[in-house]
Structure 1
């Protein structure tokens, strides 16, 4: 088999979970979650984790493997996923990577460089300084010390990646882009065949609004309240959409309707950045599929392409040009 794993990616609320289970059943597969928030214990409702029934139907990995108080980055996930891929293959089953965190996938297909060792004490002081800055300030500092990385993280990246990119030049005297070019990768690349679920913007936004309502009915407020009580508002895992926006509500600084509107706005903005990333950063051969088609048809197309080890031979496999409304 030319590929080590099949990957099913797409923006939030594009239908990855249900389709991934359908495909896994057909190819005798096991799912490795590729979601940067589903790794955290206790963050169930707000991350739309697979239900207990769904996990019983198909083995799922990469869920509930860290506490929200921990920092969980792409390198740590890639190490975990490599081990699981090997285990699943050892059972003569197919590994399916399912999720919307593109940086996790890239950590497998483009292994992370050998990071320089950073002195613990100065690093702690710089981290404390950066944590007092807002994202825009951190980005301005990064522009001054590493313009190349600053441009790369202009539209996506997240706060932790911004801080990581800035601490490297501050502590080593060389930008992280230099280390990328001059340090070898930690591991060999993993060959992955990616499928991307493409959803029209209006359909996706309607799904997001509906999902937020379902999360509230499913206990989202109680979940966030309990997590804040246990880990505090500054826990790294709680900066996710659906959690961070509700904190001002619990501080009585924002009404619930306003907080939920903020969740919707930020989630929709995030899906736009996800699609931008998928268009430009996925490995060659990525197959784009119209996610409004029936799930059975999508599963048919994915299974056929996986079995053949090549791209689906139709217009639906073309990477979309432009933003297509997103």
Structure 2
């Protein structure tokens, strides 16, 4: 049953990488006369296609093109963030509703999903030069300790980079000093569907998909981005495929080292995604899990019943 007994106005399809989320979501969109709103932190970038798994061919079902949003919206090299995503999501959400279509959020970036479902209090926090001077020279361990001292983190970053850790502290400090900030965001009443895939099957799919994308020219895609003027350090910032392929291209890893390290990193990423979703459930989110290998028509029927819709 939906919250307050009101109809669902958003369908969320989440799951780990290689679980087949997009194919499932687009089939649901065709059935529900819906539009997809991506919740993927890297598919926003233009020219980053194979490495982010856009699979845009999945958005055509039986000759019908499924409209999508928040894919290819900023240039590679830019550092898009969760604040911008939340604002862009709600613009797309209202647009889909104005089109009299059903909004379907699809993606695996847990923070982006929760920024919408939990209406995180996100604002464009200005730079704090005095704080940056104070933090300059501190190690990543020291910065992490400072960040963990805040009672409630709005920006749970992976803290791989000193710059990201300093920015996270800057944001938390601002929120602490401005408790009065309120945001007026549209109401969402989501039905959340998780696509679950057996761990061994997921591992095989991830490795097979990595080989396939390399065969399809993923290295050339990264070389093209660098040739177009994107700083290799900006590509490394994006992590996973772009980090390891760039390290190979600039000569820091052999091809085999790149493949092995990247393959392990993607497996670890998928595990972290599942940990994030379990965390959402512990905090009260109701996720209805479906099996990735169950026929799509059967999964679709289950979702329609949960939505209270019939064909």
Matching residue of 2:170: 167
Contact 2:42 2:238 in 1 (8 A): no
Three-state SS of the structure 2 residue aligned to 1:6 is: strand
How far residue 234 of structure 1 moved from its aligned partner, in angstroms, is 2.1
Instruction: Output aligned runs, 1:270-289, within 5 Å.
Output: 270-281=269-280, 284-289=285-290
Shift of 1:22: 0.8
| 1:141 lines up with 2:146 in the alignment | no
TM-score normalised according to structure 2 size = 0.84
Q: Aligned equivalents of 2:184 and 2:153: distance in 1? A: 26
Matched, 1:234 2:233: yes
Does structure 2 conserve the Cα–Cα contact (< 8 Å) formed by 1:26 and 1:303?
no
Q: Indicate whether 1:74 and 2:79 are aligned.
A: no
Aligned residue for 2:294?
A: 293
For residue 3 of structure 2, what is the aligned residue in structure 1? Answer: none
Counterpart mapping for 1:170-209 below 5 A = 172=173, 178=176, 182-188=179-185, 190-209=188-207
Per-residue deviation at 1:9?
Answer: 0.3
Q: What secondary structure does 2:293 align onto?
A: coil
Give secondary structure in 2 for the equivalent of 1:235: helix
Aligned ranges 1:203-282 → 2 under 5 Å: 203-229=201-227, 230-235=229-234, 239-281=238-280
Displacement of 1:126 in angstroms is 7.6
SS at match of 1:196: strand
Go from structure 1 to structure 2 and tell me whether the alpha carbon gap of 1:231 and 1:156 turns closer, same or farther (over 3 Å shift).
Answer: closer
- Output the CA distance in 1 between the equivalents of 2:94 and 2:124: 28
SS at match of 1:242: helix
Residue 43 of structure 2: SS of its match in structure 1? coil
Match in the other structure for 2:307: 306
Does the CA contact (< 8 Å) of 2:10 and 2:103 recur in 1? yes
Q: Distance in 2 between matches of 1:109 and 1:150?
A: 17
2: CA distance, partners of 1:63 / 1:156: 23
Structure 1 window deviating more from structure 2 (255-264 vs 297-306): it is 297-306
Measured after TM superposition, the shift of residue 148 of structure 1 is 4.1
Q: Mind listing any 5+ residue stretches in structure 2 that lack a counterpart?
A: 1-5
